A and B are shown apart, each in its own frame.
Chain A
Amino acid sequence: MAFGPFLLLALMEGLVTSATLALAAAGLSLVFGVMRVVNVAHGEFYMLGAVLAWAVAALVPGPPALAFLAALVVAPLLVGALAAAADGLILKRLNYDPEATIVATIGLLYMIQQATLSLYGPNANPVQAPFDWRIQLPWFGYSGYKLFVILAAGLVLLALWAFMTRTKAGLIMRATQVDRTTARAFGINVDRVYMGTFALGAGLAALAGVLIVPIQQAHYLMGGDPLLLSFIVVIIGGLGSLRGTLIAALVIGLSDGVISMFFTPTLAKILATLLVAMVLVFRPHGLFGAKA
């Protein structure tokens, strides 16, 4: 294959990575932005999304597309409900103290991981893609499902943006993010906002997990990489900035695709880590973040 098409392929693979990464990182960023909670268990919500997609696919009879559609709805809802429970049972009782919640979410990470290992087992299981048509480009064929992932993530992120900027609930979340005490003085039930935000953040990670599972297989340890990459994206983009998160996800995903294809995946990770280090040294609030 000539260089041009090869680069195109690398960029398309990178876009798929960007798409799921942007979803997961948007969730992490939202939770940090509104609640000031660094959710170390975020990758486990992603993993749960994938594992639940496998379970739903196994339970729902009929064509794979139907099962997948069901998983797309059910998995994020279940994971969101679990996150809401974790918020009420753990984070709220810690008064959302930034340091205590880091330790608590580390505990949550291991609890979810071990519970999944016990119930689901140590194996990686594939989930069938909802459809398997391929796009035939002049130089190579490409998975139609991967294009669907890009499109779906784009639509969800657009909806998230509209939700945050155009709806009353989004306004309430943004006000709470700025000043939770004053928000309470105007009738905002901050506990409810936090619970909803944590559920929404987890649901976004779970959605990314569902979308990725036909490409990657479901495994109980699959949450590590997305957690790390989400942190990288959120640090580069600026904590709590949705726009920065999107741009950083594109940068990290595309460079990961290109460098992995032309060099090695390890080099891609090394460069991403270097980029984080540079941002932390020269722009500690991220490229798009507001000053804390």
Chain B
Amino acid sequence: MTERITEVAVGATRTEGGTRTRSYRIGGASALPGMGDAGSRPLVALEICDDPALWPAVVLEEVGDLAGDLAGWARAAEEWWNADLVRLVLTSTRRRGFDDPAAAGRAVEEVLAATGLPLVVEGSADPALDTEVFRRCGEAGEGERLLLGTAEAERYRSVAAAALAYGHAVVAQTPIDINLAKQLNILLRETGVSHDRIVIDPYTGALGYGFEYSYSVMERVRTAALAGDADLAMPMISAAQDSLTVKEVREAPDEERAGTAVEWEFYAAFAAAVAGAGIVCVRHPRTVGVLKEAVADLWEGAGWP
């Protein structure tokens, strides 16, 4: 295992041309966690959204009226729940008939103003909207080194264009398939997005609903990269988006629902970190603390005395 994973800059402080209170360089591993130098410690991102109608009920119960107050939610992510990053999911763009890209740009500005944390943005998923939505998001975050998502094999040109124009990195997502992941990275490279601007999202199925396929793809991507495949030597991001709508959480007894939600996210996100993910994203605020603690413990593992 000789090669090293490319480092990707996320977030820009004042001195780096942005307004973040901290910035990170994810990646840099030359081994899998527990097997050598696993690079920078995985970051825990808390996901918030600009239209809570489609957000899991168990999270809305927890955050209460913050759900309607994007700035407040973002600030709480930093001050109450101590997340490393905020991931802003623009669920408004997923509504049928959405046609207000400017609103997407404003949401990005609002969150950037509310918190000092570096920002991951999950934009629209509709070719008709993408160009405008990603341009607006890219523009609103210019200089902040956002992590802009999501590029997919069928629609990567708009995200790539916005990232190139405004100096952001790109989240490249493929459906649980190491070969498709490599292909998308080649496509992005051939449209001008350099290796140090790509973060691989191998798509994470929820625990018990295909998670093991995602876990193995992450291990395969990392071992292939460490064995010399430069088109896979990028940091990875993992977000098991369906974790909180699975049956086990929905049908948990009231007093256990929040606990089950946290555990369902924790086991998947921690396993993703063990498989090499550089950023793990969760939606339930109480998962952030236990996850950061576990990741810190994992990273300080010294091996034999």
A and B together in one complex: no
A residues at B contact (CB < 8 Å): none
